[in-house]
Chains A and B, each alone.
Chain A
Amino acid sequence: QVQLVESGGGVLQPGRTLRLSCAASGFTFSSYGMHWVRQAPGKGLEWVAAIWYDGSNEYYADSVKGRFTISRDNSKNTLYLQMNSLRAEDTAVYYCARDSHPSGGMDYWGQGTLVTVSS
Chain B
Amino acid sequence: DIQMTQSPSSLSASVGDRVTITCRASQSISRYLNWYQQKPGKAPKLLIYAASSLQSGVPSTFSGSGSGTDFTLTISSLQPEDFASYYCQQSYSTPRTFGQGTKVEIK
- Mark A residues whose CB is within 8 Å of B: 35, 37, 44-47, 50, 59-62, 95, 97, 100, 103-107, 109-112
Give the 6 A-B residue pairs with the shortest CB-CB distance, closest first.
A104-B91, A105-B49, A109-B43, A105-B34, A59-B94, A103-B49
Q: With the chains together, A2 CA to B53 CA distance in Å?
A: 21
With contacts A100-B49, A105-B46, A109-B45 taken as known, whether A44 is within 8 angstroms of B95 at the C-beta atoms is no
Q: B: which residues have CB within 8 A of A?
A: 1, 32, 34, 36, 38, 43-46, 49-50, 53, 55, 87, 89, 91-92, 94-101
Report Cα–Cα, A103/B56, bound state, in Å: 14
B95 touches A103 (CB 8 A): no
A-B contacts counted at CB < 8 A amount to 66
Residues in A with CB closer than 8 Å to B98 are 44-47
- The majority secondary structure among interface residues of chain B is loop
Interface of A is mostly: strand
In the bound complex, do residue A95 and residue B44 qualify as a contact, i.e. CB atoms below 8 Å apart? yes
Set of chain A residues within 8 Å of B1, measured between Cβ atoms: 62
Chain A: CB-nearest residue to B99: A44
B43 to A95, Cβ gap below 8 A?
Answer: yes
Count chain B CB atoms within 10 A of each CB in A104, A105, A110 and give the residue with the most. A105
> In the assembly, what is the distance between CA of A47 and CA of B4, in Å?
13
Contact call B96/A50, Cβ cutoff below 8 A: yes
